[in-house]
Structure 1
Amino acid sequence: MTTLTRDPARTAPTAPPRSGWVSRLGGPVWLVRRQHRAAFWTLLALTCLGVLVMAYLRGQTMDFLATVEPTSRRSGGLPPEFETYADRLFGIGSYLGYLPVLAGVFLGAPLIAGDLESGTAKLVTSQSVSRLRWLATKLAVPAAMLTLCTTVLSVVFTWWWRPVKGLSDGLTWTSFFSVTGVTPVAYALLTFTVGAAVGLLLRRTLVSMVVTLGIVVAIGFVWDQLWRSLGNVMSVSTDQGVGPDATLPELPTEAEQQGQGTYFLTESGDRLDWTTCLDQMENAEAHTSCLESQHVIGRSMDYLPVSQMQSMQWLGAGIMFAVTAAVVAFVLLWGRKRLL
């Protein structure tokens, strides 16, 4: 006698196990990618476009410099046509300066505010996902994408700028301090998290974007006023007298002058500002006699050297990263208790 029954354990199909990285992309990560896929694809497309444009323009610049004698580059004798290439570099750098604004206003501000306004946050957190996990994922996924794109743009732009640094008055290191190196990455992450925090507090997308714009502009103003203080100001001086034929201090190559200008240096090492003996400026002999009566022996100038650029950028980025971490902690702690 035969039977048609079989052991179900032997015949039941078994689903292939999901790989670790696939399973990690599910849940909140999948939801965040799905929600913001248009913004992510736009960010990636703009990054690719920016890389192609900068690589092409850099090639044109290097081809032009290849036709110029090396001695002309060092002596500042570049042809006037070089200013066209310098203007292109400066223009692209100006556009990259808007990255923190775009990151804060268009990516950070609507991130949480949009979900609170539409009710998505209430729906998600009513499932098995905790508020803390949802907030952490909402911040982490866009931040990772923003870090990747900003890093790529900064690296390519720095690669374009370094060979021509200092060859023109508009290509000084101070003009590109905030758009090269690590600074753009830290700056964009700071404004992104600030926008997310504003959206969490205000809960309205449009209002959050407007308020974030104002805060980002304020951050930019403070940054422009304070970033030079990250460096160690140095000075150069002469002790060849103060007469009409006296030698003036000469700044190192690519250094930026700081302070009020040229100071008067006394025998004791003290410095007097430029208003000293100002009443006798019209008469050279009287002015010299006045300065000599003040025991002035030369002049002095303060400056920031280009050699400090990288250390200043990392110091500034470290401050921004610290503030970003504090804002992230605020978002997580506040949202965990008062999200809905």
Structure 2
Amino acid sequence: MSNLAGTPAAMATGSNTQNGAAASPTANRRPRLSGLNWLVWRQHRAGFWTVLALTAVCVAWLVYQRSVLMDQLLAQGWPHSSPDTWLKGEHPQRFQLVGFGLGFIPVVLGVFLGAPLLAGDLENGTAKLVASQSVSPSRWLATKLGISGLVVVVCTGALSVAFGRWWGPVKYTSTALDWSDGAAFDNTGPVPVALALFTVVGGVAIGMLLRRTLMSMVVTFAFAVAVQVVWHFQRLNLGHVLTVTTRQGISSDAFPRTPQAALEIDHWYISGSGRTYGWGTCAHEVSEKACVQKFDLVGWKVDYLPISQMSSMQWFGASILFALTAAVTVFIFVRGRKRIV
């Protein structure tokens, strides 16, 4: 493989020598892939270029949408006017649809980039050729994973920044995306990068074990969906729930105030002894006054997550996913060194 990887460079050198023309300093300074890096890129260039091109188009569209949004917000007196008047037309629905679409990116990358990465080589015999060359299996795996991981990080990171800048001016409003919803939480900060990396590396491991491309893609799809489902149900557990209480009665005017854009987890009635009752306790009572007297209700208790915890929750969750990705990567190298063909 090392001989094949070095062929273009050797041919270029021989041609220049025969023609008697020395390479210019500018040409020598031009960055070029060579050796194993060039070979891996060329082998998977169709997938890499497709992902990069689609990312460039999506980022350009998100930048345009931000400019349209800012024009609309400034026309409504942003940021000094009432937030309820900021978003009109199709923008709230557009946020939801785009966020929902971006949520499929880790699944798509895992199925079409991660699963075939090693499964294709093991199925068509390329891995045997690698084992017969001077390149070690560890270096081959490192190059494969390194270039693929770099493409994934660049693309998902760019989309995260672009979507975050589009949604950022209205993240505190009730008419835009809820910050705890997957459409916002999973598409900003480090979360999309971590989810995509874990799904892709998981797909690579599945492909290495199954050694069949199509079967690996199907199993990786199931794995990616399972990751999304587990992440969905565990997302709110990444934060530290705060509590606010009042003892000024149970009327709507006495309900506790939470910080702007805070996510209300649950709320209860509080009795004079400090005991809590579900918010539906008075639903079957004769009157609210009778319910207050019966249970000695004096106020409310509300559990909530403030939007100020969003960044820390994202980094905490991403660190877990990065650790899992590292563990799967170690498994790939350990198994790959022992049994690559």
TM category (shorter chain) comes to: 0.7 to 0.9
Distance 1:27 1:245, change over 3 A: closer
The Cα shift of 1:169 comes to 3.0
Which residue type is aligned with residue 51 of structure 1? Answer: V
Q: Distance in 1 between matches of 2:124 and 2:155?
A: 28
**Alignment partner of 2:241 out of 233, 246, 254:** 233
Whether the aligned pair in 1 keeps the contact of 2:292 and 2:298 (CA below 8 Å) is no
1:323 and 2:324 correspond: yes
Counterpart in the other structure of 2:75: 67
Counterpart in the other structure of 1:256: 263
Whether the aligned pair in 2 keeps the contact of 1:86 and 1:168 (CA below 8 Å) is no
The 5-angstrom pairing of residues 19-168 of structure 1 reads: 25-70=33-78, 73-78=81-86, 82-168=88-174
Q: Distance in 1 between matches of 2:272 and 2:254?
A: 17
The 5-angstrom pairing of residues 179-258 of structure 1 reads: 179-242=187-250, 244=251, 247-258=254-265
Counterpart in the other structure of 2:13: none
Structure 1, unaligned runs of 5 or more? 1-11
* Deviation per residue, 1:96-115 (Å, 9 max, x gap): 11111011111000000000
Q: Distance in 2 between matches of 1:290 and 1:305?
A: 34
Whether the aligned pair in 1 keeps the contact of 2:131 and 2:340 (CA below 8 Å) is no
Which residue type is aligned with residue 335 of structure 2? Answer: W
Whether the aligned pair in 1 keeps the contact of 2:115 and 2:200 (CA below 8 Å) is yes
Whether the aligned pair in 2 keeps the contact of 1:104 and 1:193 (CA below 8 Å) is yes
Distance 1:76 1:14, change over 3 A: closer
SS at match of 2:259: coil
SS at match of 1:253: coil
The Cα shift of 1:236 comes to 1.5
Distance 1:127 1:151, change over 3 A: same
SS at match of 1:249: coil
What TM-score do the two structures reach when normalised by structure 2?
0.87
Distance 1:71 1:104, change over 3 A: closer
The Cα shift of 1:72 comes to 7.0
Counterpart in the other structure of 1:4: none
Distance 1:245 1:311, change over 3 A: closer
* Number of aligned residue pairs: 319
SS at match of 1:186: helix
Q: Distance in 1 between matches of 2:253 and 2:72?
A: 40
Q: Distance in 2 between matches of 1:117 and 1:41?
A: 23
Distance 1:91 1:140, change over 3 A: same
Q: What's the Cα RMSD here?
A: 2.5
Q: Distance in 2 between matches of 1:108 and 1:231?
A: 31
Q: Distance in 2 between matches of 1:245 and 1:147?
A: 48
Counterpart in the other structure of 2:337: 336
Q: Distance in 2 between matches of 1:173 and 1:41?
A: 32
Whether the aligned pair in 2 keeps the contact of 1:83 and 1:168 (CA below 8 Å) is no
What TM-score do the two structures reach when normalised by structure 1?
0.87
Whether the aligned pair in 2 keeps the contact of 1:125 and 1:134 (CA below 8 Å) is no
The Cα shift of 1:134 comes to 0.8
SS at match of 1:174: coil
The Cα shift of 1:130 comes to 1.0
The Cα shift of 1:316 comes to 0.5
Structure 2, unaligned runs of 5 or more? 1-17
